[in-house]
Amino acid sequence: TYHKFHNLTLEQIDYWNSQGMIWDYQEYKNSQKKDLETKQSTLEKYTKLFHNDSEKAACVVSCLKVLREKRSSRQKEDYHIDNILAEFDIDLETLQSYLERTRTRDSKEKAEPMKYKEGTLRRFCIDNGYNYDVVRRAIKLHDFCQYDSLEQLINRSLTSYKENGQKEPATWVYEKYGTLIKHVLLKLNLDSTSILTNMTKSTISLEEAIRHEIFLKNKENRYNDWLEQPYNYLIEQLDANKKEPDLIEDIVTAYQSLLKEYHITIEESAILLNSFMQYIETIKGYHKIDVGLETDMTKKLEKIKMYNLEEIDIEDSFFIPLEFEKGVLLGKTSKLYQRRQLLRQYIIDWDLYSLEEKEMIKLHNSFTEEEMKMIEFSRIEINNILEQTKSL
C-alpha cells in the first residue's frame, strides 16, 4: 500500500487515496507507530480497568477491533464491475447509461472509450466522473428491494441524495417493512427513531438494527462496548431449524465458552444475558407482528414457515391487526382497544361454547351482528391457517 523507492504520480496517489490506502512511505511508518501506540494505550487502559488481567484486556481489545472493522467495512465496501453486470444481467454500455445521471457537475465526459481497469466499481466511477456514493447505496439497496432494476435503484438513491445530501435514502425501509414500522417498533418498546436512523444510514436490516439497539439499552457504560461482540456471537448460534433441546444445549455451551475465554464477570454476564434474552423475546414478538400484519395468505404461510412459529404464536399473530386502526397503534386505555380485546377473548375459545352459551355471550356483552360475524369468521380463519401450517 506504499512505495518506498519511487515517487508516485498524481493519478496513482488519487487511486490509493480512493481505496483508503496509504501511499506515502513516511506516512505509512508514522501510521504504523500511531496504531501501535494506540493499541498499547488501549491495552494498558483495559488491563488497568480489569485489575491487571492482561489476558482479558487483550480479548477486549480484539473484540473492539472486530467491531470497528465491521463498521469500517461498510464504508469501504467495493464491488467488482463484472459481478454487477452479472447480478443485474446488463452490459457495460447499459451500465454506463444508468450511471450518466450521477455524473458530478464539474466533471467532463471523456472522449475515449470507458474502461474499468482494475475492475472495481469505485475506480470505474472515479475515472468517469460518477458519484460513487450514490451508486454504492443503490447497489446495497438491492438486498432490500430485490424486484427493482439497477436503473430504478439508482434513481431512488439519486433522488434521495439530491433532497438529503449525504443522508441515506429511507423510503426502502417502509417499502420493505411496511408503513406501520414505526408503530411496530413502538409496540416492541423500542426507539423507532434510533433504529430507523441506523437502518437508513448503514443500509442494514431491521433485525440487525434491533439487535444493536437492544445491546445499547443494556450495556450501561462505554467500557462494556466490547460485550457486543460475544453478544453477536450468541445470537449467531440461534437456528430456527434446530429442535429446542438441541438449541438450548448449543447456546449454553457457547455461553460457557465465552465466560471462560473472556473472563466475564458477574456484572458483565448480566449485561450479556439480559441483552440476549431481550433480543430473543423482541425478535419473536416482531415475527408474530410481521405474520399478523401480512395480508397475502401465501406470504403469510411462507413467513410462518421461515420463522418456525408454533401454533400458539400463529394464533396470537392473528390478533395483531386488532391493535391498529387506520394505520395507528391504539392506546391500551382507548374504548376501541378494550372492545377489541373483549372480542379477542371470545374468539380464542369460541369453538368451546354451545349455541346457547354463544347467545348468552352476545346478550351479556351487547355484541352487534357485525361483531358476532367477526367472532365467527375470525375463528374459522384461524382454524384454516392452523390446518394449512401442518403441511408446511
Residues 38-50: pLDDT tens digits?
445 778 888 887 8
Q: What is the pLDDT of residue 6?
A: 55
pLDDT band for 388, please (50, 70, 90 cuts): very high
Residue 52 and residue 278: Cα distance in Å, rounded?
32
Q: Phi/psi zone of residue 142: left (φ > 0), alpha (ψ -120 to 50 degrees), beta?
A: alpha
Confidence of residue 288 (pLDDT cuts 50, 70, 90): very high
92-103 mean pLDDT: 84
Q: What is the pLDDT of residues 188-226, one digit of tens each?
A: 999 988 898 888 877 788 999 999 999 999 998 888 899
Q: Rounded CA gap, 163 and 133, in Å?
A: 14
Tell me how far apart the alpha carbons of residues 201 and 346 are, in angstroms, rounded to a whole number.
45
Q: What is the pLDDT of residue 340?
A: 95
What is this structure's pTM?
A: 0.69
User: Average pLDDT of 341-348?
Assistant: 96
Distance CA 114, CA 133 (A): 20
The reported pLDDT for the residue numbered 40 is 56
- 157: how many CB neighbours lie within 10 A of its CB? 25
Higher pLDDT: 313 or 64? It is 313
User: In angstroms, how far apart are the furthest CA atoms of the chain?
Assistant: 96
Q: Does an H or E element contain 325, and which?
A: strand 324-325
Nearest to 125 by CA among 158, 95, 90: 95
- Mean pLDDT of the region 142-163: 78
Average pLDDT, the chain: 82
Find where cell 441515506 sits.
168
Q: pLDDT > 70: what percent of the chain?
A: 81
- Whole-number pLDDT of residue 113: 42
- Comparing CA positions, the residue from 65, 40, 63 lying closest to residue 228 is 63
Listed residue (210, 207, 389) closest to 308, CA to CA = 389
Contact 225, 67 (CB under 8 A): yes
